[in-house]
Structure formats: structure tokens, C-alpha cells
Amino acid sequence: MKRIGFYSGSFDPVTLGHTDVIERASQLVDTLVIGIGVHAAKKPMFTASERVEMLKAEVVSIAKASGADIEITTFDNLAVNAARSAGAQVIFRGLRDGTDFDYEMQMAGMNGEMAQDIQTVFVSASPRVRHIAANLVRQIALMNGEVSAFVSPAVAKRLADKVSG
């Protein structure tokens, strides 16, 4: 049976914290589907297509190293429903701290009620990326701060271009 995992987020922008989770989750499944949440009420810095492009570039080497297929999609419904549509048996969630844990435990419980056949697996952030949050990266970039410790060089360039453009 092919093992399919689902990892969702806004990825606005994709950070080193995100790729840390993607690297480790991809080692546990045959296919990892990355779902980019697109919600009309949110005003992201990057369009959905820009976020897809960024993620595609960031995961090439991860897929090669892990041997997993990595697919990228967008969704505008519940993440658990997007996971089901992708055929996932597991939803991966990254944890940075206790605040994340409390929120993600509630979400896992709710998702478990809605989709009892899909398990949630928590991936604890590596110490080197535990402090990274995309919303803070956006704020730093908007104030012309240095973001290279938080994102790849390619994403840092996209942020700089977005802010200056």
C-alpha cells in the first residue's frame, strides 16, 4: 500500500522551518502532498501561484534525497478534507513550542472526529529552526531586515523583490 502524507500551511513564504518538516515527513511516506491553504479572507504577501513556485523549487533536493514523490497543491476547504482528497493516511503538523502543541492537539482531535481513518503525526521542529515563523519573516522583510537566517537564498530574493516592487 502506498503511504501518502499531507502537510498543509499558508507557506507565505516557505521558511527553513517548513522545509525542515518537509524533509523529515518525506522520509516517512512514499508521497508527500503539500497543501497550500488559499482563503479569500486572508491577504497573503505572495499569490497562490507564487507560493507553489517557491515550494516546487525548495523541494526538488528534498525529494531526491528522501526518494519520496512530493506534490504541491492548493486548497480552499478544510485541511482534513484536502488530505482526504489527496488520499492521505496521515496529516503532518510541525510543532515549534507548547503554544503550537496546544493548538495542534485541538486540531488533531477535531480532524480525528471528522476523518477517523487519517492519523495526525506531529513533527517537532529542529532546534536550529524552532524560532522561525513565516509571519515574523514577512514583518522583517517589510521593514528591510535581513531574512537569510530564516529562508533559503531563493526565497530571500523573492521577498526582497516583493518588498521593493
Q: What is the pTM of this model?
A: 0.95
Tell me the C-alpha distance between 93 and 21, whole Å. Answer: 8
**pLDDT of 23 over the 90 cut:** yes
pLDDT tens track for 118-151:
999 999 999 999 999 999 999 999 999 999 999 9
CATH architecture of the domain covering 4-164? 3-Layer(aba) Sandwich (3.40)
**Residues 34 and 4 sit within 8 Å (Cβ to Cβ):** no
Could you tell me which residues are beta bridge partners of residue 73?
Answer: 35
pLDDT tens track for 88-103:
999 999 999 888 999 9
**Residues 12 and 37 sit within 8 Å (Cβ to Cβ):** no
